[in-house]
Amino acid sequence: MSSNSISGELEQILPQLRAYARSRVPNVDDADDLVSKTCVRVLERQDQFNSAKPLIAWAIQIMKNISIDDFRKQKPMIGDIDPNTPDNTSNPGTLIDISRLIYQLPLEQREVLVLSGIGYRYKEIAEKINIPMGTVMSRLKRGRDALYELMNSDE
């Protein structure tokens, strides 16, 4: 695959990468940084891309690795993140509240929930994050149940 076709396809998958990045980090600015780092890494290492597989799967794997590396580099935070603290980088509204609730879920549940939410089927999610399809279904069920509980806990 030529560099022009990779950059063109990368541009097409940016919305999915951004949505997935939001499942991995707490705010919009960090998600945008993660997407940028991922795009740079994809373009730098495009010679390693296996064109028999979808670019989105490879890009998501790169994004996961970058976010893990970034997390390890962080200094320990004092105290916990308060999910009720307003996110000043986002627009106010119901979707932001749900976004905060989703971020309270474990990463494994959060990532399958977001990928499912942007339209991927179980098999596609399994391929993109390299886990068995049964694990996708289980994590999605547990994530939906946990999100439901979080949404109804304040009533």
Residues of the chain with pLDDT under 70: 1-4, 75-97, 154-155
Provide the number of structural domains found in the chain. 1
Return the half-sphere exposure (C-beta side, CA atoms, 13 A cut-off) of residue 25. 23
> φ and ψ at 104, to 5 degrees?
-75, -15
Residue 58: Cβ within 10 Å count = 19
| Domain hosting residue 93, numbered range | 3-152
pTM: 0.57
What are the tens digits of pLDDT across the range 120-134?
889 989 988 889 999
b/e map 2-19, b = 16+ CB within 10 Å: eeeebeebbeebeebbbb
CATH code of residue 19? 1.20.140.160
